[in-house]
Each structure stands twice: as structure tokens, then as C-alpha cells.
Structure 1
Amino acid sequence: MDFRLKDFNLQKAKMKKYFLIIILIAISCSKSFSQDMNYLGEPSFKVGEELSYKLKYGFFTAAEAHIKVMESDKKFGDSAFHIVADAKTAGTFDIFYKVRNRYETYVDKKTLQPYFYTENRKEASYRHSDNVTYDHNTDKITADKGVFPMKGKVFDFLSAYYFARSVDISKLKIGDKFTLQYFLEDGIHSMEITYAGKEKMDCSVGTFNCLKFNPTIIPGRVFRKSSKLYLWITDDKNRIPVKAHVELVVGSITMDLTGVKSLKYPLNPLKQ
């Protein structure tokens, strides 16, 4: 094999390890303001909604993600949504570094607070699972790695995103910063996100008026010191991410909305 081609394939394999991290960050960015703004009292989504995405590393389709909302098959409170996200590598990336990950969350239909979260990750030879219970009576989170105190609103990345789609953003101003609290594997973490204004953004489904957000990312093996991450969300009642872009140490990754189904409100792309 040509050494340049071999080096290129190894580099692609290395970057694939971080694609699901990008999905987590990108999908969760829009929920940043959920800690500071009021819940509108009604979900912006409904049972049956499905969203599909593709992640591209340069010109290559590297991974695909699919998210759907269902009725809960488990008993939590009065009633609950069951939200499932499946992510997998695609194309040649699937040959070098196969990923098959599933994330699930159960949230209260009235408050959109999480009851239970589970994940099952298969990334090449790596295997990881976690089960997280949110007890809102005792303010404790119980996960596979222990019990953790819970202060304020704390989400997994799926429940947080769906909560954020249903909050009041009418007073949001450019430059406003927010801190997101989310639980991941071994504790509660926080992320600062800046609202960057409104822009028109193209995706595979069409062109939309969008809200733009810029989360703070930590430089290191994956991100340069100057790397930027941006997320564009439809500026309508649906509030769905249509595009995300992040710069890496080598190259960049783009997340693109490729399919929608059974939205609660009409999705109206701009006329060209």
C-alpha cells in the first residue's frame, strides 16, 4: 500500500473516535439557554418526530445519526417520552473504525425533565454502557460509576436538547452567554455557550432562517487553540439543528440535517 494512502487512512480512523463527541456537543449546544430561560409549558415536538443527520470529514461522509421520539414503554410519573438516538460510521470509515452507538432517554411529558438515561457504545473493539437515574425527589443522580448530588436542572445530552427546544428565547441578545449542566459518565459537567445572532443556513433539507450558537471548546489533541464550533437552529417553533461545523487539529467536521418526519409544526424552507 502507498504510504501516503496508509497514513491518510490511519488519520481518518483516528478522527472517527471523536465523531460521536462532536454529535454530543453539537446536538447539546442548543440547550445552553435552558438554565436561564423559562419553559414555555408545552413541548415543541411530538411523538413520531424523527430527525436524520450526516457527519462529513472534509468531503467524506463519516457517520450518520438518527433521532426519534416515541411513547415510553416504561412507567415514569404520569407519562413520559422515550427518545432514542442511533449513530454509526458510514462508507470507508465503517471499514476502518466501525461505530454502532445507541443513546436513550426518558423524560416527563409535562416538565421535560429526565427520569432515566442509558447508552450502549460499540466503537471498534471498545465497549461502554451506562445507566443513569435522575431522582428529582432526593436530588441525586445514580449511574454505573456511583451516586452524585444534583443541583438545579441537570440533563443528559438528549433530554437537555429537547427541553431547550421548548424554552422562551424572546429576550435573547447577541453576545449573551449561558452555562449548560449535563451529566456524562462520571459526574456533572458544564459548558459555556454564546449566542451569535441570526443567519440563513443551507442544509440538505433546504435553506432556513436560523439562530447561531458558539460553544466554548477545550483545545488539545482534537481541537486547535483557535478552533471554533458553530451550530445553526431553525428560528421557528420546531427549533431543530440544521447544521453544525467544528474545526479540528486536522480538517473539520460538518453535521448536516438530511431528513425530517412528523414535526409538530410545519417546516418552511426559504424560497430560492
Structure 2
Amino acid sequence: MFKKIIILFALILISGISPASKSIEYVPADVLKPGEQLIYKVKYFFLRVGTLRLVNLGIVEEGALKGYFKLRIKIDSSPGIPFVTIHDIYETYVDSNAVPAEFHAWEQKGKYTLETDYIFRNDENLAVVQMRKVYPDRVEIVEDKQLPIDRTYRDVLALLYFARQKSSENYRKIIIPTFALGTTDSCWFNEVGSIRTLKYRKEKLPCYYIQGRVKFIGVAGIKDDFEGWFSGDESRVPLKAKMKAFFGSVTIELESSENWLAAK
């Protein structure tokens, strides 16, 4: 028995991974922190193709959305990337469970901006969808409709914060009703809560891992299978993701942060 322990200890030393590096001391998730700002680089192989800025703008203090968290993501493609020009903004207002009340998007489409609004009236089992093309000299209505909903839906940005909240919980599969492109769809988390080691800033960190699949085309053409690695502290910060976009597979990595205490 003693010999087996010595052999195991030697293997650990050779591999350079300590037993603690594969474990996380569990703390409850607290992912909705006002002032948090996370900046990500988007890479296609070794080429940087864009930047994501994820911001928690705080709690709304008045009006119909009082008490909701205002969240924003800004997506910009890198200058000089052929055939790819993206300068889009998405905002959502969510409660403490990442359930949205409203979602708004502004997507640059060359000569016009596509503006999208989703208003979730969950108490009425109803969602209002409004989409319009805004040109410099006119506005064209694309959609103006109401859809019946019989469950809680999340928009694509609320979905990210929901993933952060659930990343440490062990599930074989979660199916999340999702609102995208003006209609109802779904996202699947096929593996949730396992612990994987991620090399981040020259360190090997134990992270919560999610593998899943979106059944729709999301922001910036995101589609199909994805993987995500989340920090082990209460913020469950997304450190890295791999997913498919309209021009191929991309890697998204955290580049800098503000008001993330674990980063210090």
C-alpha cells in the first residue's frame, strides 16, 4: 500500500499537476455584479478577428424596469478583416435569476441599422417582437408581432448569465427555451458542472465546464456546438469558449477585466 502511494505521488510530481489543481472549493454563484466589465479577444486560428465587451451596467433605479440588472455586450470585428464587418450592441434587462424582461439589439448592416426589441410579458404568457431597418432617411418595419409563450424564455445575452449561474451544478442535460431572431427556439447544455483544467495566463486553473449546442443562429453568426470554461470563484467568469461562427470555428478568451475581485 505504501509503495502505491509513493508511485502515485511521483506521478503527480512528474505531471506537474498537484491534487488541488483539479478541485474547486465550492462557493455559491454570484454572477450579477454591477460594474463588472469583461473584455475578450476573438481568434480564428491565430488571427484576431474581433473584440467582445461584456458589461454589467447596474440595477435600474426607477421606471417599469426598476430592480432589474442592465447588461450589455458590444461586438466589434477587427479592422482589415476581409468580408467581416461587425459593430453590434445587445442589451438585456434581467432579474436575479437571469430571466429577461426586455432585450434590445442594434446591428450594423451596411446601409442601415437593424434594431430589435423583445418585450417579455411573462405574467401574460406573451412576448412582443419589434424589428426595423433604420436608414439615414427612413425606417422600414420588419416585424411587429406578439407571440404566445408558455414557459420562461431567455434571450441570447441572458442565456450567457444563466450559463454562468448553472456552470457549477451537475446536470446531464439542460434544455433552455431561447428567444432568437424574433422567434422561439432552444439551447442545450449537454454537459454541465464537470471540472476541467484550463491554461490561463501561464497558470493551470480548475474551471467549471459546459458543453452544449444552440439550435439557432445567434449573435455574430454563432451556431451549433460550443464549449465554455468558467472560473471557480463566485463570479463564474467565462474565461474561454470555443464555438462556431458563420466563417468558421473561433476561440474567445478573456483579455482583461474590471471589478472582478478574483483577478486580483
Could you say whether these structures have the same fold, taking a TM-score greater than 0.5 normalized by the shorter chain as the test?
yes
Aligned to 2:257: 260
What's the Cα RMSD here? Answer: 3.2
The answer to whether the 8 Å contact 2:233/2:262 transfers is no
The structure, 1 or 2, with the larger RCO (C-alpha pairs under 8 Å, 6+ apart) is: 1
Which residue of the other structure, out of 38, 44, 51, is the alignment partner of 1:57?
Answer: 44
Q: Distance in 2 between matches of 1:169 and 1:48?
A: 23
Q: Distance in 2 between matches of 1:90 and 1:223?
A: 17
Identity of aligned residues (%): 18
Which residue of the other structure, out of 48, 64, 71, is the alignment partner of 1:83?
Answer: 71
Q: Distance in 1 between matches of 2:245 and 2:180?
A: 22
Q: CA deviation at 1:80?
A: 1.7
Inter-CA distance 180–217: structure 2 relative to 1 (3 Å threshold): closer
The answer to whether the 8 Å contact 1:116/1:133 transfers is yes
Q: Distance in 2 between matches of 1:165 and 1:203?
A: 18
Q: CA deviation at 1:155?
A: 0.8
Inter-CA distance 84–212: structure 2 relative to 1 (3 Å threshold): same
Q: Distance in 2 between matches of 1:56 and 1:111?
A: 31
Aligned to 2:160: 161
How many pairs align?
A: 219
> Rg bigger for which structure?
2
**Does residue 103 of the first structure (1) align with residue 103 of the second (2)?**
no
Q: Which runs of 5+ in 2 are unaligned?
A: 1-27, 131-142
Aligned to 1:237: 234
Inter-CA distance 154–148: structure 2 relative to 1 (3 Å threshold): same
Residues 140-172 of structure 1 show CA distances to partners (whole Å, capped at 9, x for unaligned) of 1101131112222211111232234335844x0
The answer to whether the 8 Å contact 2:226/2:242 transfers is yes
Q: Distance in 2 between matches of 1:65 and 1:106?
A: 19
Aligned to 2:197: 200
Q: Distance in 1 between matches of 2:34 and 2:66?
A: 16
Aligned to 1:26: none
Aligned to 1:143: 129
Letter in 2 for 1:155: R
Inter-CA distance 46–216: structure 2 relative to 1 (3 Å threshold): closer
**Does residue 178 of the first structure (1) align with residue 165 of the second (2)?**
no
Residues 165-219 of structure 1 show CA distances to partners (whole Å, capped at 9, x for unaligned) of 335844x05xx11111111122110122211632111345964311222223679
- What is the TM-score when the length of structure 2 is the normalising length? 0.71
Q: Distance in 1 between matches of 2:237 and 2:244?
A: 22
Letter in 1 for 2:46: F
**Does residue 128 of the first structure (1) align with residue 124 of the second (2)?**
no
The answer to whether the 8 Å contact 2:57/2:70 transfers is yes
Q: Which runs of 5+ in 1 are unaligned?
A: 1-39
Inter-CA distance 169–200: structure 2 relative to 1 (3 Å threshold): closer
